[in-house]
Amino acid sequence: DQQVKQNSPSLSVQEGRISILNCDYTNSMFDYFLWYKKYPAEGPTFLISISSIKDKNEDGRFTVFLNKSAKHLSLHIVPSQPGDSAVYFCAARDLSGGYNKLIFGAGTRLAVHP
Amino acid sequence: DADVTQTPRNRITKTGKRIMLECSQTKGHDRMYWYRQDPGLGLRLIYYSFDVKDINKGEISDGYSVSRQAQAKFSLSLESAIPNQTALYFCATSDKQGVSDNEQFFGPGTRLTVL
């Protein structure tokens, strides 16, 4: 059973509007979360992260919100640009077994159209 | 030059063949990982290595083996490839220092097709 879930496989947004990508997790022991962005034919690249001691982290047009009680995080992109069109992966840090590993969601494909 | 490189980028092989995917990095990181990506399943961890002498199984290690030849090199082998190992494979690295440990740097991927 997936511990990190991205229930929307795709999202289409108009340029200039807000994009909201959602992620849910099941393990309350996860204490650090990351978003990765992936373009076709390239590896994922780190976008933004948040520690579980915070509820918001902002970096330019990108903001990640964390709701620990709901085990939910979201990535907001404002304003959305065509270059933001990519697959976005949510990931959670898993420290079980004494090793630092990342558990990834299935990804959400964002399409930003003019 | 890319910090994390993978060879080959594309490979088509037949069922039962042995395949090796290679990963090299120039970032000086101690930690290296192998993932596979399948549609609808995201990235799943196959093996990870926190230094040359420390190799661990990930979520889906059956049918795979790895070798950490040096700090900079981590190879993934499929001893006898089967069609359901058709996927996109990614190598990644991370630094063990502080919060940098959380961020992983990915190679461009190897698309493997097993017929």
pLDDT-flagged residues of chain B (< 50): none
What tokens appear for A92 in the block?
């959670």
Reported as a single tens digit per residue, the pLDDT across A58-69 is 999 999 999 999
Backbone angles phi, psi at A95, to 5 degrees: -100, 10
- Residue B99: per-residue pLDDT: 53
Q: How many interchain CB pairs under 8 A, A with B?
A: 55
CA nearest to B50 within chain A: A99
CB contact under 8 A, B108 and A42: yes
Q: With beta carbons less than 8 A apart as the criterion, state whether B100 and B27 touch.
A: no
The set of residues, in sequence order, having a beta carbon less than 8 Å from that of B51 and lying 6+ positions away, is B30, B31, B68, B71
Contact B102 A49 (CB under 8 A): yes
Q: Among residues 35-54 of chain A, which lie with CB inside 8 Å of chain B?
A: 36, 41-46, 49
Q: Please, is A112 exposed, middle or buried when counting C-beta atoms within 10 Å of its C-beta (0-12, 13-18, 19+)?
A: buried
Region A86-108 average pLDDT: 89
CB B47 within 8 A of CB B30: no
Residue A84 has pLDDT above 60, yes or no: yes
Indicate whether A97 pLDDT > 90: no
Mean pLDDT, chain A, whole residue set: 94
